Amino acid sequence: MTIPLNDDAEMAANATFEALLQQHAGIVLKIAYTYSRTKEDRDDLGQEICAALWQSFARYDRSRPFATWMYRVGLNVAISQVRRARTRDRPSLSIHHDAIDIAAAPPPEPDPRLSALDQFIQQTDPLNRALLLLYLDERSYAEIADVLGITETNVATKISRLKQVIRRDLSVANETAR
Amino acid sequence: MELEELKAAWKSLDQRLAQQNALTFDLLKSQKTARARSALRPLILGQTVQIAAGVVMCLWFAPFWVKYIEVPHLLISGLLLHAYALMFIVLGARELHIILHIDYAAPVVAIQRQIAVLRNWRVRIGSIFAVTGCFIWIPLMLVILRGLGADVWAKNPTVVYWFIINGFAALGVVLGIIWWSRRGGALRLDDETAGRSVRRAQAAIEEIARFAHEPPHGAIAP
């Protein structure tokens, strides 16, 4: 149960939350990028994640790392949204990494590495996508295990398999490009 | 392209997202409270209304069957409706309990399993409501008409037989729509009641189980 806060305490909690959110904003943006295809979807998902973070913040155990807690909430929201979207049979749109840019920013040069990354992310199922995101973010096996709720041994096995799939897919892509 | 290049691509993406951060983050923060409210309200409200409707129905039907305990067809009608009302309350309370206890800060596999089980349960319950709904209006009609002073079964049982035939016809329509929906027909059913949703919910549970499956000892690939 959430303990009601007085105005001062609530303002302090708001300020703490916003400071932590700002400090770790990259996590929200990367999760939104990994689980959405268009800019609008990314904005929506980012908002959903921020809302869920704010809602869960009262129960956040401050003895644990904020980033781990944030990954858990963000990935749970994102995976749930992907599953809801699948149930609704939303039409899939092709992805373009340029779409994440805000209109005011100059369009960057197309990066073939990002296109390959996008393609690989989108063909991976939601749970393995979470694993991929944490792996690419260079999180430790212990932290990945803590976020996902599986053992470190299982994380090691899955990452090993994931690496094999990445190597295989990238080599196929390289062959095709030649 | 090698694995390391993929990691380099991720890092470059990280930098680009960081550059956009200042532009997008105010938008994310500004709507957080409104989104937090809107995301949960419909679910909680829906279940609360269902429970309240169940309680009202219980308060109406319990005295009815007690009053007509000597009249078998009215007693059965009252009991069926009372049981239906109890089903409303129990199923609504269970779903509300699960929704309120989903803690997104828990590990991903645990929460996704919980949500998948809830979704699976919801689509199955949806089918139960759809099937019972084809027939439950019959005792309801008998009770309402009795309240208006007409005991249809006593005066003209043929009417009740017609009701039952109509119930089976409605059941046929419901099953036909579910069958059509499973085959990917043009008619779009609400996914919560469609058979396809049951399969998807079940597939999600299996996908999570596969992901969480502990590998045999020493099975780590190089």
Interface pTM (ipTM) of the complex? 0.73
Give SS3 for A154. Answer: helix
The pLDDT, as a whole number, for residue A9 is 75
Quick: pLDDT tens for A116-174.
788 888 888 999 999 999 999 999 999 999 999 999 999 999 998 888 888 887 777 66
Quick: pLDDT tens for A77-107.
999 888 777 655 444 333 333 333 333 444 4
Q: Which residue has better confidence, A134 or B98?
A: A134
Contacts 24+ apart (CB under 8 A), B101-105: B103/A56, B103/A59, B104/A52, B104/A55, B104/A56, B104/A72, B104/A73, B104/A76, B104/A77, B105/A56, B105/A59, B105/A60, B105/A69, B105/A72, B105/A73
Quick: pLDDT tens for B6-26.
788 888 887 777 776 655 555
Average pLDDT of A70-83?
A: 91
Give SS3 for A150. Answer: coil
| Interface membership of B101 toward A (CB under 8 Å) | no
Closest-CA residue in chain B for A64?
A: B105
Which of residues 160 through 189 in chain B touch A, CB cutoff 8 A? none
Q: What is the pTM of this model?
A: 0.72
Q: Does the distance separating the beta carbons of A51 and B32 come in below 8 Å?
A: yes
The answer to whether residues B1 and A113 touch, using CB atoms and an 8 Å cutoff, is yes
DSSP conformational letter for B102: -
The pLDDT, as a whole number, for residue B211 is 84
The pLDDT, as a whole number, for residue B81 is 96
The pLDDT, as a whole number, for residue B27 is 55
Where does the pLDDT of residue A6 fall: very low under 50, low under 70, confident under 90, or very high at 90 and above?
low
Average pLDDT of B132-147?
A: 94
Closest approach of chain B CAs to the CA of A12, in angstroms? 16
Judging by beta carbons within 10 Å of its beta carbon (0-12, 13-18, 19+), is residue B111 exposed, middle or buried? Answer: buried
B208 pLDDT more than 90: no
Q: Does the distance separating the beta carbons of A114 and B1 come in below 8 Å?
A: no
The pLDDT, as a whole number, for residue A71 is 95
Give SS3 for B196. Answer: helix
The pLDDT, as a whole number, for residue A16 is 85
Where does the pLDDT of residue B187 fall: very low under 50, low under 70, confident under 90, or very high at 90 and above?
very low
The pLDDT, as a whole number, for residue A1 is 46
Average pLDDT of B37-65?
A: 85
Average pLDDT of B49-70?
A: 95
Average pLDDT of B138-153?
A: 92
The pLDDT, as a whole number, for residue A86 is 63
B41 pLDDT more than 80: no
**Mean pLDDT score across all residues of chain B:** 80
B89 pLDDT more than 60: yes
Q: Which amino acid is at B138?
A: I
Where does the pLDDT of residue B192 fall: very low under 50, low under 70, confident under 90, or very high at 90 and above?
very low
Which of these, B122, B124, B142, lies nearest to B80 by C-alpha position?
Answer: B142
Q: Which residue has better confidence, B197 or A73?
A: A73
Quick: pLDDT tens for A13-28.
778 888 888 888 889 9
Which of A18, A39, A47 to probe by mutation at the B interface, max B CB count within 10 Å?
A47
Chain B positions touching A50 (Cβ under 8 A) are 28-29, 31-32, 35
Q: Does the distance separating the beta carbons of A108 and B107 come in below 8 Å?
A: no
CATH (residue range A1-93): 1.10.1740.10
Q: Does the distance separating the beta carbons of A52 and B109 come in below 8 Å?
A: no
Domain ranges of chain B: 27-101, 104-214
The answer to whether residues B104 and A73 touch, using CB atoms and an 8 Å cutoff, is yes
Closest-CA residue in chain A for B7?
A: A136
Closest approach of chain A CAs to the CA of B55, in angstroms? 26
The pLDDT, as a whole number, for residue B69 is 93
Class of domain A110-178: mainly alpha
The pLDDT, as a whole number, for residue A84 is 74
The pLDDT, as a whole number, for residue A103 is 38
Chain A positions touching B182 (Cβ under 8 A) are none
B40 pLDDT more than 70: no
Domain ranges of chain A: 1-93, 110-178
Closest approach of chain B CAs to the CA of A9, in angstroms? 17
Count of H-run helices and E-run strands, chain A: 8, 0
**Weakest-pLDDT range from A82-96, B85-99, B135-149, B157-171:** A82-96
Average pLDDT of B103-127?
A: 82
A33 pLDDT more than 80: yes
The pLDDT, as a whole number, for residue B21 is 62
